[in-house]
Amino acid sequence: MQAIKPLTRYLANTLLCVLTSLCDASALAQALPSAVQAAFTRAQVPTDAIALLVRDADGRTEPRLSHRADQPMNPASVMKLVTTAAALDLLGPAYTWPTPVWVDGPVVNGMLQGNVIIRGQGDPKLVLEKLWLLLRRLQSLGIHTIAGDILLDNSAFEAPATDPAEFDSEPLRPYNAGPDALLINFKSVVMTFVPDPLTNSARVQFDPPLWGVQLQTSVPLSQGKSASNGACGDYRANLKADFSEPTRIRFNGGYPASCGEKVWPVAYADPASYNARVIEGLWRSLGGQLSGTVRSGTAPAESATFEITSPTLAEVIRDINKFSNNVMAQQLFLTLGLPAPATPASAREAVRQWWQRRISATDVPTIDNGSGLSRQNRISAQQLGQLLQLAYASPYMPELMSSLPLVGVDGTLKRSKASSASAHLKTGSLKEVTALAGYVHAASGKRYALVAIVNHPNAAAVRPALDALIDWAVMDNLAR
């Protein structure tokens, strides 16, 4: 009987709409489920700031719920679904990014009489461990000293320089790092703090090592203010870190003794010099010597001496979607704009053409940088629903679905209060934007494509409403 009331309201709204010519069939909005409507009301978010769509993943029947589904809205990081779905279709899940290395000269008694050249090809996950293996491979060739230079070629991407503080005034947040064909360790520094009561100080370890940067390796312990639940409070504020000078990282405060071991990643203050500092710092930490410098250069046309390879695309999109990694998404987006030099414009054109071939020749979303970290993106719930249906029918559906956070289990949905493991959904969050899109695994055994986008000053308060929507979609055998 409970399912009759929403149906009755929907029929009444539809009849009124038709009789008064206030809308057409494509714009009909269904009444929201009562629990969902109540949660949006508590969040003080009106229904005209919301777009919702719940329909069979295979698209064979009419939507269970469609509310303002044709309205273009800002989806925040849900836009990563477009980037990753397009990449799976265009590149395939086994695609990898090579990073070729040239040894330009003979090796005599452990000394390379020439240069080392490293060319970036867009690897989104060239992390510290992979760089260590690259340098160890050089040493395995008998190289201990490089008499020339280490040349870095990042010409595969032609991305405009960006101000990391421009988007949200948080220049030290790693997610604000810009893309780079030779993106090493996300251009970030990871600081690990380990308290040592015997010395009344905390040791500070910096990874990766940065050549030419003074690093403060200990800070005094402070008592701090422990919360009743055992938390140590805002230890970052207590440290009073000073990152204003790229050649020095220091702390003017103390580290709370109650915090235990903590890890704090930050974006390096001078991203343009980051690669050179990391490569020289790591090479020297391995016992290598360098007579020249690390600088920009051009890779030769002949075959490389060796290359290292990224994880597969199927693995990379798990990091992109489960943890909403913006810079990895932008790396992937620019990859779609290759051959070199790939630009944001060429990447946008590649995705536009893909959308027109695979989804709609006329109804194309507005895509900025592929990550969702933008105020220019616009896509409707209906368009996202079409994307999800296309992906569901694709042979790469398992790879895309498994890359999405699992409700209440992992990724950005680990703290969701909806039914645990009931859905694989990509989240999106910006100031005044909250969104979800993905697949719900219903109690009946059916799968639904679910999309929810909220653009409103109170968008951050709608998480309970979205949890209620997921639960409503799960319980389809009771809702019909």
Per-residue tens of pLDDT for the chain, all 480 residues:
444 444 444 444 444 444 443 443 334 457 899 999 999 999 999 999 999 999 999 988 899 999 999 999 999 999 999 999 999 999 999 999 999 999 999 999 999 999 999 999 999 999 999 999 999 999 999 999 999 999 999 999 998 877 766 667 677 788 778 999 999 999 999 999 999 999 999 999 999 999 999 999 999 998 755 433 446 889 999 999 999 899 999 999 999 989 999 999 999 999 999 999 999 999 999 999 999 999 999 999 999 999 999 999 999 999 999 999 999 999 999 999 999 899 999 999 999 999 999 999 999 999 999 999 999 999 999 999 999 999 999 999 999 999 999 999 999 999 999 999 999 999 999 999 999 999 999 999 999 999 999 999 999 999 999 999 999 999 986 544
Which pTM value belongs to this model?
0.90
Sheet-wide strand order for 294-296: 294-296, 150-153, 115-119, 98-104, 306-309
How do strand 145-146 and strand 111-112 relate by DSSP bridges? Answer: parallel
User: Measured between alpha carbons, how far is 72 from 102 in angstroms, rounded to an integer?
Assistant: 48
In this structure, the chain runs to a length of 480
Q: Which domains does the chain have, with CATH numbers?
A: 32-93+314-479 (3.40.710.10), 97-310 (3.50.80.20)
Kindly provide the residue ranges of all beta strands, DSSP E only, lying in 314-412, ordered along the sequence: none
Q: Cα–Cα–Cα angle for 427, 428, 430, nearest 5°?
A: 150
CA quadruple 108, 280, 123, 341: dihedral sign: negative
Question: Do 342 and 335 meet the contact criterion of CB atoms below 8 Å apart?
Answer: yes
CA distances from 307 to 140, 210, 403, 434, 470 (A): 14, 24, 27, 41, 45
Q: Provide the strand spans (E) within 181-298.
A: 188-196, 201-207, 214-215, 218-222, 241-242, 248-251, 255-256, 262-267, 289-290, 294-296
418, 421, 422, 425 alpha-carbon torsion, rounded to 10°: 80
Q: Give the H or E element holding residue 112.
A: strand 111-112
- Which two structure tokens, joined as six digits, stand for 87? 């990449």
Q: Give the integer Cα–Cα distance in Å for 37 and 45.
A: 10
CA 420 to chain centre: 23
Residue pair 66/53 in contact (Cβ under 8 Å)? The answer is yes
